[in-house]
């Protein structure tokens, strides 16, 4: 027994499956789980000489890593930025709802908000493991208020700030950064380079976005420590042949390391041709995000994103009375399907963009985004035809090796005890 009273020898074998391994789909596989972690079967069978405690017959289903969403503003009627008294409920409802979409971990995202809101909300978005209660929280993604009003999107300009006081203003606004995984800022703001260095030293992922910045300003931010571009093509200068803007970071020869970039592949925010251009230019950096808001999982009507009202018409969310997009209502499994079809890529590439790439961006590659030994046993079971182009059919979602979501109407998994 360990200190928690659990038997360390309890081992679950997922047998007769296709497994996503090293970026490829491999047939006739097994997945061995102990204490919520994936383990190497060889020491168990050949050194320990032990049989698994429980065997699960996957019936040739495809097992892929749990999806990771690094930018999601809310869902199922709740918004993370609207009311501090409802944030705990919002996290509970959204994290539970995401399980049906294959998402096993996420970064709840705050849009630009009144200064007093951050210190009330961020402690409620602290990192926590996933369970039957919902997907894991990886820390908050704070999108603003240090962004450019010229590219505000669905952010209220009256609450936007600058770095005039120096990088110390970050802690003045957010309070402790311990609950923050990522911050989006505009690299052209005076003092942005110093702010990026300040955040990078504290291991906060810095993203550039909501910006009118030039390529040169974007490159300076990346040299200082930024590593992500928030929803590429959206809320930034359009590509121009004399100054490609932040889009040019995908091919920059100045930056010291490859840059990751978010894509909202919902069929609304990014034209399929633009998506193909980005992918073919820098495939290893593409990170699928939903940028979903409170209307996710609901129908048409009026909803909120942060302090602003949003009107959902069809599959699009707008600021009322305008054609300005205000987040999406897409799920991650839908984004993967649309990415596969729009970019003409394989299922493997689609899955990597929602698993391996965001895990690497957040510095979690050893525990999230893969099904290798030592990683968390967070995975999604896709249907028998899950390797067909564009078919991402979530049958079951597992966290720490335990089934936390099962699509209604499925026959029970065949299991037995050895």
**Average of per-residue pLDDT across 238-258:** 90
**Residue 48's pLDDT band (cuts 50, 70, 90):** low
Annotated binding site for substrate: 154, 234-235, 242, 269, 325-327
69-73, 137-141, 253-257, 362-366: which range is least confident on average? 253-257
Element (H, E) at 352: helix 347-354
**Residue 50's pLDDT band (cuts 50, 70, 90):** confident
Whole-number Å distance between alpha carbons of 295 and 327:
9
Residue 127, pLDDT > 70, answer yes
Q: What is the pLDDT of residues 279-312, one digit of tens each?
A: 999 999 999 999 998 888 877 777 766 666 777 7
Residue 379 is predicted with a pLDDT of: 98
Q: pLDDT averaged over the chain?
A: 90
Residue 198 is predicted with a pLDDT of: 98
Residue 417, pLDDT > 80, answer yes
- Do 263 and 283 meet the contact criterion of CB atoms below 8 Å apart? no
- pTM reported for the whole predicted model: 0.93
Query: What domains, with CATH codes, occur in the chain?
Result: 11-65+369-417 (2.30.40.10), 67-299+327-361 (3.20.20.140)
Please identify which of the residues 266, 291, 376, 378 carries the catalytic annotation.
291
**Average of per-residue pLDDT across 182-202:** 98
Active site residue 291: yes
**Average of per-residue pLDDT across 72-91:** 93
Non-local CB neighbours of 277 within 8 Å, separated by 6+ positions: none
Residue 5, pLDDT > 50, answer no
Residue 1 is predicted with a pLDDT of: 38
Annotated binding site for Zn(2+): 143, 210, 231
101-115, 221-235, 284-298, 377-391: which range is least confident on average? 377-391
β-bridge partners, 18:
62
Residue 150 is predicted with a pLDDT of: 94
Annotated binding site: 143, 154, 210, 231, 234-235, 242, 269, 325-327
Residue 304 is predicted with a pLDDT of: 67
Residue 2 is predicted with a pLDDT of: 44
């Amino acid at each position: 027994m360990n200190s928690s009273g659990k038997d360390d020898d309890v081992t679950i074998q997922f047998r007769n499956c296709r497994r996503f391994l090293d970026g490829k789909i491999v047939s006739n596989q097994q997945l061995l789980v102990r204490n919520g972690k994936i383990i190497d079967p060889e020491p168990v069978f050949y050194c320990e000489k032990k049989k698994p405690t429980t065997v699960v017959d996957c019936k040739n289903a495809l097992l892929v890593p749990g999806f990771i969403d690094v930018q999601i503003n809310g869902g199922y009627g709740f918004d993370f930025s609207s009311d501090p008294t409802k944030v705990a409920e919002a996290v509970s409802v959204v994290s539970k709802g995401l399980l049906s979409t294959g998402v096993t971990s996420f970064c709840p995202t705050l849009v630009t908000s009144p200064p007093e809101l951050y210190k009330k909300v961020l402690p409620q978005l602290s990192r926590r493991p996933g369970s039957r209660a919902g997907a894991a929280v990886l820390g908050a993604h704070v999108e603003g208020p240090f962004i450019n009003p010229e590219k505000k999107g669905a952010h209220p300009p009256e609450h936007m700030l600058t770095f005039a006081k120096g990088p110390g203003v970050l802690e003045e606004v957010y309070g402790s950064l311990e609950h923050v995984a990522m911050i989006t800022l505009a690299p052209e703001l005076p003092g942005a380079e110093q702010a990026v260095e300040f955040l990078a030293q504290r291991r906060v992922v810095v993203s550039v976005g909501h910006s009118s910045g030039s390529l040169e300003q974007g490159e300076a931010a990346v040299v200082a420590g930024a590593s992500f571009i928030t929803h590429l093509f959206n809320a930034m200068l359009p590509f121009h042949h004399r100054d490609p803007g932040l889009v040019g970071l995908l091919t920059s020869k100045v930056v010291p390391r490859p840059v990751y970039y978010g894509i909202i592949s919902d069929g609304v925010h990014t034209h399929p041709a633009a998506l193909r251009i980005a992918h073919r230019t820098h495939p290893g950096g593409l990170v699928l995000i939903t940028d979903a808001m409170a209307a996710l999982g609901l129908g048409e009507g009026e909803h909120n994103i942060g302090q602003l009202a949003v009107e959902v018409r069809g599959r699009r969310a707008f600021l009322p009375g305008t054609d300005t997009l205000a987040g999406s209502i897409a799920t991650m499994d839908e984004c993967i399907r649309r990415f596969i079809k729009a970019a003409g890529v394989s299922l493997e590439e689609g899955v990597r963009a929602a698993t391996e790439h965001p895990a690497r961006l957040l510095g979690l590659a050893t525990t999230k985004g893969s099904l290798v030994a030592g990683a968390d046993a967070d995975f999604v079971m896709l249907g028998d035809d899950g390797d067909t182009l564009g078919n991402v059919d979530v049958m079951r979602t597992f966290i720490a090796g335990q089934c936390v979501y099962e699509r209604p109407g499925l026959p029970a998994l065949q299991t037995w005890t050895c």
